[in-house]
Structures are given as structure tokens and as C-alpha cells.
Structure 1
Amino acid sequence: MIRLLNKLLRINLRVIILTLLLLVLFDVALQQAIIPYYLDSNRSSGRIRGTATAPAIKRLPADDANTLSLWKAQLAEEQGFTVVFLGDSIDHGGGVAAEHNTLPAFFSQRLSLLYPEKDIKVFNFSLPGCTPADTYNILSFIADIKPDLVIYDVNMGWFGTKNEMEHPLLAELTEVEEEHSPPLPLPAKALTGAEIEKILTSYATDYWSLYRNRIFLNYVWFGKPLAEHFQIKTTAEELDTDAGNLLSDEEIYKPWYLKDFDDLKKAEGKLGHFTLDEHNPHWGMYNRLLEKLAQENINSVFFMIPRNRTLYEKYNLLDEKVLNDQQEILAAAARKYGAVVYDYTFAVNDLYFTDSVHLTAEGNRDLAYLLVADIVEDNLMK
């Protein structure tokens, strides 16, 4: 028995070669078939009661460099009319579970119906909790691809928060391409155990597809990103329902009028009570975002996010004059740099919210139709 076990466990050159061959074949399959399969938005499109659903525009599952690089590579490969959504959980789809119910998905469906002759490709580069600084870092990373149109959701709530960044990993994106160059080989006599480990680690992070795309694959295979790399973040200014009784998906995606928001009675101040000047870091990054778009000659649309007027007024959190004045400052800055601005603050039916700002599938659909109509009217599909 022991002899048989030793024979089975014996590692010889043939076993090593076969193992390496299988790893190489699996890695090639990942690059050439498996990952492209899951990134194909058309694969997830279907029909419900005879009506085509919106394509499942993939959400970013994480803020790590490898995942962003994967999205960027897909964007770079497209030859048609490319649209990139930037922003926070409004674009990411914080009020819906399914990817085909997000704003970018409905936008893609609607625009493609109006322009069947164009090969329209929509990419969702938004992340929950994405501040203006975080968005600037993502834009800087993909700007060299020159998308045909960038759409950014302007959430005024961020301009009153303390943290300049909620996704510090995004600040490292500009270093990614430099880090991808292979290290120079060291003389054999200089290789220590630590140096060998460093070379192997560098190889794994730069060339091993399974390792580089582990977060994305975990997302598509198991339904959620790795917790240590990505955490859904929202702001108090968005009045999100993050109380203990609303943590389940079932509760999060319910319409707001089926939830208890009485904790908002304790909220102090009203939306927009902050100063937009050089002392506000979010204001500075917002302007840098606009400057970057102008420098790269990228057409852009900035829209003021929809808000649930009924919920704000119920808890006396809305000073409409302050809201309008602050949003006009933000809009004027965007127009100065050549961006087209749309105001959808109270354009969506209050019944189509899950809280103060996040939309249900119906809300995302209606907002997408408004956005497409305005873009077509302003002839931005050149």
C-alpha cells in the first residue's frame, strides 16, 4: 500500500511538464475565450415578453488596476462609436440588482435603436462612492483611448464631504503601464531567494491571466467582487438607507415609499450648504476633470442627477434656491470648458426611487430616454 502511494505521489519530469502545459493552456483559454465571453454584453441580452431587454453593460466590479486595465483594453479594441459613463453609484446602478437595468444599459439600448447604422458601444467606468478626484483618476487612465463621448453624473452631495478620495487605489492607475514592463534579468550569481520571489511575483501580476483577472472572474462566477478589494460606499448626503434593517438586497432595491426613513428626522442642515471655492478640494478636482476632457478634446455631457423631491421635502432637507444656485455654479464651470450640461434634478417621477437619489429600473429607463433625446437634439452623435 505504501509503495503504491509513493508511486502515485511521485513527482517526475513528465508530471511537471504536463502540469505546466495545462496551466499554459488554461491561461490561453482565459485570454482568448473565457474572459471575452463574459465581457460580451450581447450574450446577456434577452427578450422578456417579446421585448428586447437592455444589453447588460458590465459594471466595474472593483477599483484595482488589473480590472480597470481589462475594461480599458476592451474600450481600446472597439472601432465603433464609444460612450463612457463616469461617476458614482447613480451610473453604477445602486438602486437595481441586474446590470441590464442600469442607466448605461438602457441608454445603450435606446441609442442603438435610433442609430442602427452605428456600432455603438457603451462602457460603465463608474464606481459607487466615486468622488470627483476618483473620477479624475479613472479619466486620466483611459483618456488616451479617446472615447467619442463621456457622460458624467454630477452629484452635488460629494462637494460637502471630507474625504477627497474614497478609492485611493485609483490614484495608482497612472503607474500601471510603467509597471507592466518586464524587469531586467539579473546575473545568475546575484539571484537570492528574495529576488527570485520578486521576479516570480512580478511575472504573476503582469502575465498570468488567472491572477490578473481574479477579481473580475470572482465577480462573474460567484456574483460578487472580493470584499478586501471593493466595498460599496455612499455618502450621507445621498441619504442612503444603510441602517441595519435595510442591509439585505431585497430591502435595498425596494421603492423608497416601502421603507422607513424616520432616521432622517435627526439630520441637520440641507442639501447644498457648502462653499464652492479654492478651499473645497472637490471643487478643485471637478475643475481638473473638466480641464482634462478639454485638453484631450473629448466630447462630454454633464448631467445633474435626479432627486426625490417628495422625500427631501418630507424631512425638510431641501432648500431649492440653494440647490439651484450651487448646481448653476457647477453647470457654468462645465460649460466654460465646453461640456454640454443637462439638468434632471426633478425630471424623474418620485415613485421611481429607492431612496433620495438612486433609481429603480423604471427610473433608469426614463432617465436614459431623456438623456438620449437631449443628446440627439444637440447633435452629439457626430
Structure 2
Amino acid sequence: MSLDGDTSTTGDTAQSNTAYGNKAFKRSKSHFADRITADAADGWPVEAGRYRLVISRACPWASRAAVSRRLLGLEDALSLAVTDPLQDDRSWRFTLDPGDEDPVLGIRFLHEAYDAREKEYPGGVSVPAVVDVPSGRLVTNDYQQLTLDLATEWTHLHRAGAPDLYPEALRDEIDEVMDGVYRDLNNGVYRAGFATGQEEYEGAYGDVFRRLDLVSERLAGRRYLVGESITEADIRLFTTLVRFDAVYHGHFKCNRNKLTEDPVLWAYARDLYQTPGFGDTTDFDHIKRHYYGVHAGINPTGIVPAGPDLAGWLTPHHREQLGGRPFGDGTPPGPVPDGEAVPEGHRPLP
């Protein structure tokens, strides 16, 4: 099974990808890596209304796309489908929609779009996924490239005042920061959580907290990871940090300390959470129900913890004292579109 983003496998999802010879978790590359570009080099042109973005709000990889889409104001150009946080052996389900069917694609399970693209594809069904609405075929599940293309190839469809999330002058530095964060933290928490040997677990655990210490040091005197405004690097770090205390600290045994115990990272995460596009796309209920309900090999009882208390996410962070402008020369996104709001009770409200 592939584990590009989060897959459809029930039970101990990622352990199906463990190389048991060395007891180490390994993440597969995206199988469907077509790009949607302005020049249509891969046969998929950027076109308003043609594609549908399928996400799970539980998945950190999919959450990147949700944040980027909102910051860039692509809601009218790229429609959104949100799956149930729990999968079964038929893949991600559209049970949150009337009749348990996606109203645009007319399918009940995401695997149907994968099958339309490649019959009997042997890998996992992962999110985020972009589907071509006219044909019902999967276009891409390349979660690493997707958000970069939204920022650079979809520019003529961006809202007025959209931020530049991948500024050309800073790309080398952004890429360097993102590479370390991905290797040691975004993927490192999974390597720790799904390790089947003590040595592999401790190695991943060490990577996670070494990287957290490095980014904490980097952010002590600057508001954002690279430059003076939010970039792709901040989005990728945020989607792991926002899950840390709720899931990774206990469920994945990354328990040296909680996010709330690092003053710099906790303030940084709150700053982003309180920025439109971040907190308003975060669903703590889906996050907890997915991880604790699907990973039966780690949590065989399926009990979902009642905590942690989420009220702290709305407390003052004082990061504005470091300067910087969240959207650079741009402006904040507008209100969350009708039908896309995270349900009441799934995140803290003022």
C-alpha cells in the first residue's frame, strides 16, 4: 500500500508500509504525479471549475492544500470535497454528504476516481487528491507538488490581494527549510509512531525533537520561517504542530514535551492558528477520530481521548511584536464560503 498522504487502509494504516526487515516506516512517493499547470504540459490545464480537491480534514498533507486554497482565494475556481475522517476497506468515504455520495463527482468512495484513472491500481487511495470533474478521473495525488502549483501555476485565478506563498527570490531557502521539516518532523512523527523496533523509534524520536529545537531557535527572533510573511514553509510546519499535542505526543509516542511547553513554538502555532486560513480549516474532532480510530495496531481499543483542552489556541500570542506582515503586500482572505465551515464544536470558538 502507498502512503503518499493518508491512505484508505483500515486498521494499522502505515504499518502496511513498514519494511519489517529493518522495522522502519517508509513513505512511498506519489504514484499519480501529473501536474495542473498554466501551459498544460502534462495535459491538465489550469481551468476554473474543472477540478475538485478531495481532502480529509484529519490529514496533515491534505490540510496543506486546504490552507493554501483558502489563502489564495481559489474557492470559486477549485471546489472542495471533504471525506469522513474514518475510512473502511473501500477507501475514503463521502458519508458527510447527503446520500453518502459526493454531490459533484457522484461517487461514494474516492477509490472510484482512482479506478477511473487506472483500473485495479494496486496502491493506496490517498488524500489530498485532485479529480477531473468532467471525466471523473484522478489527476494527481502528489501532495508535495500540489500546493506549490496552486501558488505558482494558478496565479491568474488567485483572489485580489492573495499572498505570494512561494516567492521566487526565497525559494532556495524555503526549499531547504521545508526539506528538513519534512524529513525530521512532518514524516518523522510517523516514523516514530509506526516504528516496530526500539532503535528505529528512538532514532525517529530524536529527529523529531532535534528539528523542533532547531525551528524553535529559528523562530525565537523572527515571526515566520522565511522572510517577513507567511510562505509554504509555514503551512507545512503548522499542519504538524497543530496535531502535535492532540495526536503525536501520546498516540505516536513523541512525548519529550508538548507543543504547549515550548514557549516559542506554542506562540508561533497560535499566531498562525488565529490567522484566517489556518484555524478556520482545522478540525480537531476529525483529527482525533481519524488517528485514534483508524490505527488499530497502535490503539486497539479505538478510544478517542477527550482532551486536550483547545481553549489555549485562542489566547494572545504577542508574535506581532516581532514585526512581519502575515500576507506581505496582500490582504487576508474573506469569510469562509457557505458550506465549508468546520462544524461547531470541532474547534475552539471565541
Larger Rg: 1
TM range (shorter): 0.3 to 0.5
Structure richer in helix, relative to its length? 1
TM-score w.r.t. length of structure 1: 0.34
